[in-house]
């Protein structure tokens, strides 16, 4: 079975319609018919110590949210939240993404979206204070049928964000000196069934979500219900 793919045309970043209040709305997020999984991340210009994001929704009942993830559990990182949606039964759609704060605030926001033909195999988060040179490696026995993706946020200066391992999907900022978001994919192995994503950046706070996407919905489930029979 071939590896899943990133649907590049609809994997991009979006600006909020307003930078005040308790919600940040990102209008008309486009999901193509061939997508099975959508990863959406929203970030504020405000640090986690000032405000937190408590919810992230996609306004279409056919998009089933399977995970809601606090990505920025560090007081210095920009407040960041992510959600993973199963859209395999949804078909093509366009709807609004809404990120909800813990209380009203003034401050910009940015949203990033990764659309893929794959299904979630696993995920993990990390955050960095003063990140300059970062890399993450994943191992999977399902390496021949998966890809490794990253979606994240940085404090400012997204223009200095450079992918050193993997392929940049998108990067964009709320403004030149405000919060930025980015997406990266890696579909090749470095050794022993491992995939690596790396990036460099001038000194900034980062909050990253790494998702391994498989071509199969449940890659480790076989006929007996386990990866191998129990003897």
pLDDT in tens, 179-209: 999 999 999 999 899 999 999 988 788 999 9
Q: How far is it, in rounded angstroms, from Cα 41 to Cα 175? A: 17
Q: What is the pLDDT at residue 116?
A: 98
Which residues, listed in sequence order, are joined to residue 85 by a DSSP beta bridge? Answer: 38, 65
Tokens read off for 47: 């640090």
Q: What is the pLDDT at residue 204?
A: 82
CB-neighbour burial class of residue 9 (10 A; exposed 0-12, middle 13-18, buried 19+):
exposed
Q: What is the pLDDT at residue 89?
A: 94
pLDDT in tens, 74-121: 788 899 999 999 999 999 999 999 999 999 999 899 999 999 999 999
Q: Which residues contact 230 (CB under 8 A, 6 or more apart)?
A: none
Tokens read off for 21: 């209040």
pLDDT surpasses 80 at 169: yes
Q: What is the mean pLDDT of the chain?
A: 91
- Domain extents in the chain: 8-214
């Amino acid at each position: 079975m071939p590896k899943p793919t990133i649907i590049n045309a609809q994997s991009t970043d979006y600006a909020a319609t307003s930078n005040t209040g308790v919600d940040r709305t990102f209008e008309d997020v486009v999901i193509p018919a061939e997508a099975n999984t959508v990863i959406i991340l929203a970030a504020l210009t405000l640090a986690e110590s000032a405000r937190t994001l408590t919810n992230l929704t996609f306004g279409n009942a056919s998009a089933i949210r399977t995970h809601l993830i606090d990505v920025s559990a560090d007081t210095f990182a920009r407040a960041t939240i992510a959600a993973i949606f199963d859209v395999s039964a949804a078909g093509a759609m366009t709807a609004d993404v809404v990120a909800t704060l813990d209380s009203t605030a003034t401050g910009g926001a940015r949203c990033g979206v990764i659309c893929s033909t794959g299904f979630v195999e696993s995920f993990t988060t990390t955050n960095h204070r003063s990140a300059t040179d970062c890399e993450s490696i994943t191992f999977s026995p399902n390496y021949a049928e998966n890809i490794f993706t990253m979606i994240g946020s940085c404090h400012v200066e997204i223009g200095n964000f450079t992918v050193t391992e993997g392929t940049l999907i998108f990067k964009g900022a709320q403004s030149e000196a405000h919060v930025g978001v980015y997406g990266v994919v890696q579909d090749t192995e470095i050794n022993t069934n491992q995939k690596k994503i790396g990036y460099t950046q001038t000194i900034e706070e980062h909050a990253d979500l790494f998702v391994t996407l498989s071509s199969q919905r449940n890659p480790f489930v076989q006929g007996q219900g386990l990866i191998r029979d129990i003897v």
